[in-house]
Amino acid sequence: QRDKMSNSSSITHFLLLAFADTRELQLLPFWLFMGISLAALLGNGLIITAVAFAHRLHTPMYFFLLNLALLDLGSISTTVPKAMANSLWDSRAISYADCAAQVFLVFFLMSAELCLLTVMAYDRYVAICRPLLYRTLLGSRACVHMAAAAWGSGFLNAVLHTANTFSIPLCQDNVLDQFFCEIPQILKLSCSDVSLREVGLLVFGVCTALGCFVFIVVSYVQIFRAVLRIPSQQGQHKAFSTCLPHLAVVSLFLSTAVFDHLHPPSILSPSLDLGVAILYSVVPPAVNPLIY
C-alpha cells in the first residue's frame, strides 16, 4: 500500500522493496544475505587480522588492502542487516532518520572505496614502474596521508549529496523500489524535476568517478608496458598476479555502480535495479577477499 504524502516534512518513514509476496519466498533473501554477510565478515576479518598481526605484511600494498577490508565491512553492514531484518519480520518500513543515515553511509563508503582503489593503482604503478623510488614515494607517512585523503573525500562527498537529497521536497509517495535507501530512488519521489544543484552535484560526482577511472586506466597502461618489458616469464607472472586482482575489483565495482546510477530510464525495471544494486553493494565486500 502506498502512503500518499503532501510534502517531505510529513514523511516519517519509507517503504523499501518487498523481495517476494509469500512468506516462504521472503525468507530466501534472508538466508542468501546471511551467507554473503558471513563470507564478507570472515574474508575481510581474516585480511584485517593477518595484516595487523603479521609484521612482514606491514607494507603499503597490505596497508591499503586493510583499509579496503574495513570499507567493505562497513559497506555490507550498512545495507544488509536492515534488509535481513525486514525479510525476517515481513516488514518494509525504514524510518526517515535511518534512511538518511543509510544514504550517508552508503555514499561515504562507496566514494572512499573508489578513492582508495585509485590510490592502490598508484601503489602498483610506483612498485612496478618506479621501484627505486618506492620507499621514498610510499613511506609510512605518505600512505597514512593517502588513506586519510580517501576516507576524507568520501566523507565530504557523502555530506554534500545527503544534505542535498534530503533538502529536496518529496511528495510523490514514500515507496522506494530498492532494498536500501539509495539517492536515485529518493529523487524519484521529488515534487519537481531534479533541481539544478542536484544536476551540479551529479556532474561533480561523475567527474570525480571519471577522474579516478582515467587515473587507474593510465596507471595500468604504464604498468602493462613495463611488465611486458620484463625479460623473465616468472617476473611477468609475479607482476600480473599483483595487478590483476586489483583490476578485477575495480572493474566489478565501477561498472555496476556507474550503470546503476546512470543507466537510461528506457531499460528501467525493479528486478534489474535490484540485481545491479546487489552486484555493486553486496557482492564486492564478499568477493574482494577471495580475489585478493
Task: Catalogue all structural domains in the chain, each as residue range(s) with its CATH number.
Answer: 14-290 (1.20.1070.10)
Q: Which of 140, 79, 115 is nearest to 283 (CA)?
A: 79
pLDDT over 90 at 253, yes or no: no
Element (DSSP H or E) covering residue 13: strand 13-15
pLDDT in tens, 166-178: 887 777 678 888 8
Least confident interval from 69-78, 188-197, 262-271: 262-271
pLDDT in tens, 198-217: 677 777 777 888 889 899 99
Provide the pLDDT for residue 187: 79
Strand 93-95 and strand 13-15: the pairing is antiparallel
Residue 113, phi then psi, degrees to nearest 5: -65, -40
Q: Which residues contact 105 (CB under 8 A, 6 or more apart)?
A: 74, 78, 158
Give dist(CA 116, CA 118) in Å, integer. Answer: 5
Give dist(CA 8, CA 168) in Å, integer. Answer: 8
pLDDT over 60 at 266, yes or no: no
pLDDT band at residue 263 under the 50/70/90 scheme: low
Instruction: Identify the three-state secondary structure at position 131.
Output: helix
Reading the block at residue 97, the C-alpha cell is 532518520
Residue that is written with C-alpha cell 544536476 in the block = 199
Provide the pLDDT for residue 288: 85
pLDDT over 90 at 234, yes or no: no
Reading the block at residue 108, the C-alpha cell is 561515504
pLDDT in tens, 79-123: 888 888 888 887 888 898 999 999 999 999 999 999 999 999 999
